[in-house]
Amino acid sequence: MSSTPALYDELCQRLHETAVLGSCSALLSWDEQTGMPAGGSAHRAEQVGLIAGLIHERATHPRIGEILDQLAGAADLGEVESIPFANVRESRRTYDRAKKLPRRLVEELSRTTSLAQQAWIKARRDNDFPGFLPWLEKMIALKREEAEAVGYGDGHPYDALLDEYEPEATAVSIQAVFGALRPRLVDLIARIQNSSTKLSTEIVDRHYPKAAQRVFADAAARSIGFSYDRGRLDESAHPFCSGIGPGDVRLTTRFMDHHFNSAFFGVLHEAGHGIYEQGLPDDQFGLGCGTACSLGIHESQSRLWENFVGRSPAFWNYFYPNAKQAFPSSLKDVPQADFYKAINVVEPSFIRVEADEATYNLHIMLRFELELKLITGELPPRDLHAVWNSTFQRDFALTPPNDAQGCLQDIHWSAGLFGYFPTYALGNIYAGMLFEAAGKDLGDLAPSFSKGEFLPLKNWLGEKIHQHGRRFSAAELMKKATGLELTHEPLMRHLEGKYSALYGL
C-alpha cells in the first residue's frame, strides 16, 4: 500500500488535471457569451457536451475512490483544519456526488445549457417567452432528474440542487432566513415610500457615452484591487465573472448609454467576484482549498464592493471629480451630494441587476419561491409568465410590461442554475457581517476610501476569506471572520442607517 503522502500527491495530480480540462470548458463558455457567432451554437453544444463527459469520466474514475478510501482516517493528513485534510474531505464530497450522476445526464445537461442560453438571448431580445418555453421545460426536466439521482433524503428535491452552490443549506433553512429578513425589508421600504423626501434617478439616466463608461469602470475596478494583468473585461448579454484558472479571470458587463448604474455597478460587482478568484491560492487549483467556499460567500464579495463600498459617500469623495471629467455633459453642474442621492434611490423596479439595495432581496425571494414550485412541478413552466407577473405585482405593486423585463430577464434558468438565486441574498447578509467586522478590525474605513485607499479592505478580505478556499464551511468561515453566527442584523443596520439619512426616516 502506498504511503499517505504518495496517495495524497496522486489525488492532487488527478484533480488538478481534471480542473485544467474544466478550465477549457469554462473558456468555451466565456467565448460563447462574448464572441461566438450565432451560427456556431450547435457545434459549441457538441464541444461542451463532449468535454463535460470527459470531465465526468475523470472525476468519477475508480482510482479516485480507491485513493479516498485509503486516505480515510489517515492520521498523517494533519489536523481537521489542515489544508490536506480539507482537500481530502472536499474531494470525497464532490466525488460522491459526481458518482451518482450518469455520464449521459451530465453531457445532456451541458449540451442543453449551451443551446438554451443562445435561445434565451434571442427570446429576451425578441420578448418571446413561447419561443424559450421548450428549452425551459427541457432544462427543468433535466434538473429534476439530477435531483433524483443525487438524492435529498426526507428533504425537498431543491436541496439536491442548492447543495451544489451552498453546501449544507436546504430549502427549509433558506425559507427560515428569508422569513426573518423579509418583514424588516418590507417595513423599511414602506417607510421610504411614505417619506416626504423624494429622490430622483434623473441624473443617472442622462447620456453617458459607452467608451467613457468603459474607461471609468476599468479604473474603479483596478482601484479596488482587480488585477488586469490577470484578468480582463468584456461585454455580454448578462454580466458574469468566469475564473478560467490561475492568472486568468474574466469579467463581463453590459453598457447602457442612458443608465449609468447598470454597467458601473455591474463592473464593481463582477470585480468583487474577480478579486476573490484572483485571491484563491494558485497552488491549490483544482482542490478544495483552491475553490470558493460557496456561492453565498462569493456573492458577499461582489455585493460588498458594489454596495457597501461603491454606493458609499466616501467612495464618491474620491471618484466623483474623475466622474465629472469623464462625463462633463451629464455631470458638469451636478453637486456630488445630488449624484450620491441619485445612485441610491429606493424604488421598486423590474430588473434585478439594476435594483437598489433595499428592494434587491425581494427579487431574490420571488425567484426562490418560483424555483421551488418549478422543481416540484407545482408550477408548470408554461404558466411561469403569468405567475411571475402576479407574484411581482404582489411584491412590488408593479406588473412587468413585457417578459424581457419579467421572467426572461435572467440567464440563470437557461444555464440550469436552479439553486443559485438564494446565494445572492445570503451574500448580502454575509457582506453586512463582513463589512461590519472589517470596520471593527481596521477602524473607520471612510477616510481611507475618501483618499482612494481600498487595499486595506481587500487585504483583510484576502486574509479572512479568499486564502482559505473551502478549508472551512461557509458557517465556520463566517464565524472565524466575524465572530458571529449567521445574522441579518448587520445588513439591516447598514440599510436602515443609510436610508434613514437619505430619506429622513
Average pLDDT estimate for 185-200: 96
Bridge partners of residue 248, in order along the sequence: 245
Helix (H, G, I), strand (E, B), or coil: what is residue 226? coil
Cα–Cα distance for residue pair 163/165, rounded to 1 Å: 5
Average pLDDT estimate for 86-99: 97
Cα–Cα distance for residue pair 310/155, rounded to 1 Å: 39
Average pLDDT estimate for 81-102: 96
Pairing of strands 231-235, 241-245: unpaired
Q: Per-residue pLDDT tens for 431-449? A: 999 999 999 999 999 999 9
Cα–Cα distance for residue pair 334/389, rounded to 1 Å: 37
Start-to-end Cα distance in the chain: 70
Question: What grid cell was written down for 316?
Answer: 464618491
Question: What grid cell was written down for 115?
Answer: 443551446
Helix (H, G, I), strand (E, B), or coil: what is residue 208? coil
Q: What is the CA radius of gyration of the chain?
A: 23
Q: What is the pLDDT of residue 484?
A: 97
Cα–Cα distance for residue pair 252/215, rounded to 1 Å: 14
Share of the chain above pLDDT 70, in %: 100
Q: Which residue has the cell 480540462?
A: 21
pLDDT band at 234 (very low <50, low <70, confident <90, very high): very high
- pLDDT(75) > 80: no
State the burial class of residue 190 (Cβ atoms within 10 Å of its Cβ: 0-12, 13-18, 19+): exposed
Q: Per-residue pLDDT tens for 107-161? A: 999 999 999 999 999 999 999 999 999 999 999 999 999 999 999 999 999 999 9
- pLDDT(267) > 90: yes
pLDDT band at 73 (very low <50, low <70, confident <90, very high): confident
pLDDT band at 457 (very low <50, low <70, confident <90, very high): very high
DSSP code, position 371: H
Cα–Cα distance for residue pair 170/384, rounded to 1 Å: 23
Q: Which residue has the cell 434611490?
A: 345
Q: What is the pLDDT of residue 79?
A: 82
DSSP code, position 408: T
Average pLDDT estimate for 208-230: 97
Q: What is the pLDDT of residue 382?
A: 97
Q: Per-residue pLDDT tens for 27-59? A: 999 999 999 998 999 999 999 999 999 999 999
Average pLDDT estimate for 396-401: 96
pLDDT band at 77 (very low <50, low <70, confident <90, very high): confident
- Residues that are catalytic: 270
Q: Which residue has the cell 455597478?
A: 265
Cα–Cα distance for residue pair 471/342, rounded to 1 Å: 41
The angle, 0 to 180 degrees and rounded to 10, between the axes of the packed helices 41-59 and 4-34 is 170
Q: Say which range, 253-257, 291-295, 482-486, has the weakest mean pLDDT.
A: 253-257
Q: What is the pLDDT of residue 1?
A: 54
pLDDT band at 238 (very low <50, low <70, confident <90, very high): confident
Q: Which of 328, 87, 106, 300 is nearest to 216 (CA)?
A: 328
Give me the CATH code for the 171-503 domain, please: 1.10.1370.30
Q: What is the pLDDT of residue 502?
A: 98
Q: Per-residue pLDDT tens for 382-392? A: 999 999 999 99
